[in-house]
Structure 1
């Protein structure tokens, strides 16, 4: 086997997008019990947009952050518990609450060109003993050199690792490899990759990332996630084994877990590349916008493709869901029809 790869599982966080943030505490408990001991490095839990993000703008979660995290913590004994957080939605004291509950890995994220907003959050988390991933979302929107500049900032704030998120599922293996290779060669901390499957390339991109030096890679069970879904967890682990990368994951135990979970959303909800996902991938628009765009298109009588095109033109980023309504409203006017 070649280098060891840590598998990070955000099924119970990114997957919440797929069901409008409605995963139940029973779903969370059952999932954690089933996968605990399969060899995953981290199970990430929460609202699709992370800690503190439950809102009318982004979607109300079925349960409070604390309830979800406490439920996961009670059902994980061999797998670390992780969270995702975006400064502005999450507050500094949310870090303290998460650590008291027993969260072990904090992902602190920003748009790929705005790492400075994570400074106080990363520093606060590290001062309180947390293991922190600095995250750069929508990473297709910046050159490899600019990503290195932003990642270097997060490394300087104290991040233990850097994760690039292809939030729109827009990258291909070549562009993934170029970004990961540069960061892996220039940073002194591990680099990771989080893929989306809008163009059907999530597995290929994740493999390219690992081959280029990434040692942390994300996958969701059955691909359960925003838009066209994420890199499919069980397929990812099998492919990495096929290429002789050690992950520590027992693939057969993971397959048994899937069979045990047939009735809960991460397994029972089909994840396919729909036309809207394909279009958002082509335009490089955040995968989490899918349901918001569909509602706005229906409400204003505008073709979804035109909304995605307009969002791409104004460089909309994760967290700007309110922009979708104004774009759809403008496009519905006769002067721009």
Structure 2
């Protein structure tokens, strides 16, 4: 079987679980452990990426430069440092600064039907000589054909890998197979899949993605991430190795890195609770969970109903201010 690249988002997507408050010793400890295991790419930053630290979605404990310099210094061997940016939060200047801090892989993200906003930023990444990747967020909100078209567009802008994020943990394996299969047939670059675990499907969905031709799979140690968390890195790698796939990762060392994450990064590992399941079924971004719980409590309404209404309105990351409005409208209707 072919070689797969496992992209470790623990120090970026995991930030959602701790309100973006990871500090320098935590970043350094996990980066060293992941690098010792031979993880190919360690992604770091605010949970929403470069330039995203703000009142609207949460201030990070550290600025982007401090985070990137800390992790870059901690990585050894062939492990590369990755960053994530979404136009509107991050800018071209943020990408250039990340490059100066040693970033080697840059993920440019956009809503699943808006790859056109990536053009300028992907061009900047290529100009800097870094690896340019493109990912479509909330990808369950459109079908396989449209996702394939958007990924084709991103590849035409210079993306050297393209793919989708199951931002709400909404997919079942058949959904993933159809979408990844369509994208693989449409592009000539590696295809990415990023899973979330709201319905306990993250590893199964990642395996389905590999079966459909994806070659870059995202995961986080102990599933560290918003809500029910992300695909469990150590479980995924164990499954892939058992299936005969090559990842270049030393599993015993990766299990030690997962222990470091458990002991030093998180208050408690992610769990699939009722709110997480409701979020996955409704197709709502997992990172909304703390804000939904606070808004529901303040309005005296059921958070499950808030998630259902957010899903009906197709609210996406960046529209956090609407959560309070939805909770209040449910209270008024009651």
TM-score category (smaller protein): over 0.9
- 3-state DSSP of counterpart to 1:49: coil
Provide the C-alpha distance between the structure 1 equivalents of 2:258 and 2:324, rounded to a whole number of angstroms.
38
Provide structure 2 residue ranges, at least 5 long, that are not aligned to the other structure.
Answer: none
Indicate yes or no: 2:214 matched with 1:211. Answer: no
Q: Name the residue aligned to 1:123.
A: 123
- 3-state DSSP of counterpart to 2:163: strand
Q: Name the residue aligned to 1:188.
A: 188
Q: Name the residue aligned to 1:145.
A: 145
Superposed CA RMSD in Å reads: 1.1
Displacement after TM superposition at 1:15 (Å): 0.5
Q: Name the residue aligned to 1:21.
A: 20
Q: Name the residue aligned to 1:241.
A: 241
* 8 Å contact from structure 2 (residues 4, 246) kept in 1: yes
Equivalenced residues, count: 333
Displacement after TM superposition at 1:174 (Å): 0.3
Q: Name the residue aligned to 2:271.
A: 272
Indicate yes or no: 2:45 matched with 1:46. Answer: yes
- 3-state DSSP of counterpart to 1:317: coil
Provide structure 1 residue ranges, at least 5 long, that are not aligned to the other structure.
Answer: none
Provide the C-alpha distance between the structure 2 equivalents of 1:261 and 1:15, rounded to a whole number of angstroms.
10
| Cα deviations by residue, 1:164-192 (Å, 9 ceiling, x for unpaired) | 10000000000101111111122010001
Structure 1's consecutive aligned runs of 4 or more residues displaced over 2 angstroms after TM superposition are 256-263
Q: Name the residue aligned to 1:330.
A: 329
Displacement after TM superposition at 1:262 (Å): 5.0
- 3-state DSSP of counterpart to 1:263: helix
- 3-state DSSP of counterpart to 1:108: strand
Q: Name the residue aligned to 2:228.
A: 228
Q: Name the residue aligned to 2:94.
A: 94
Q: Name the residue aligned to 1:284.
A: 283
Q: 1:142 to 1:260 in 2, by over 3 A?
A: closer
Q: Name the residue aligned to 2:251.
A: 251
- 3-state DSSP of counterpart to 1:97: helix
Indicate yes or no: 2:68 matched with 1:74. Answer: no
Displacement after TM superposition at 1:256 (Å): 2.5
| Cα deviations by residue, 1:1-42 (Å, 9 ceiling, x for unpaired) | x01000000001111000111111110001111111312110
* 8 Å contact from structure 2 (residues 37, 254) kept in 1: yes
Greater shift, 62-71 or 33-42, is seen at 33-42
- 3-state DSSP of counterpart to 2:36: coil
Q: 1:246 to 1:294 in 2, by over 3 A?
A: same
Provide the C-alpha distance between the structure 2 equivalents of 1:203 and 1:262, rounded to a whole number of angstroms.
19
| Cα deviations by residue, 1:188-246 (Å, 9 ceiling, x for unpaired) | 10001000000000000000000110000011001111110000000000000111111
- 3-state DSSP of counterpart to 2:42: strand
Q: Name the residue aligned to 2:293.
A: 294
* 8 Å contact from structure 2 (residues 44, 82) kept in 1: yes
Q: Name the residue aligned to 1:12.
A: 11
* 8 Å contact from structure 2 (residues 3, 247) kept in 1: yes
Q: Name the residue aligned to 1:103.
A: 103
- 3-state DSSP of counterpart to 2:134: strand
Q: 1:74 to 1:270 in 2, by over 3 A?
A: same
Provide the C-alpha distance between the structure 1 equivalents of 2:262 and 2:127, rounded to a whole number of angstroms.
41
- 3-state DSSP of counterpart to 2:263: coil
- TM-score norm. by structure 2 comes to 0.97
Indicate yes or no: 2:171 matched with 1:171. Answer: yes
- TM-score norm. by structure 1 comes to 0.97
* 8 Å contact from structure 1 (residues 114, 150) kept in 2: yes
Q: Name the residue aligned to 2:200.
A: 200
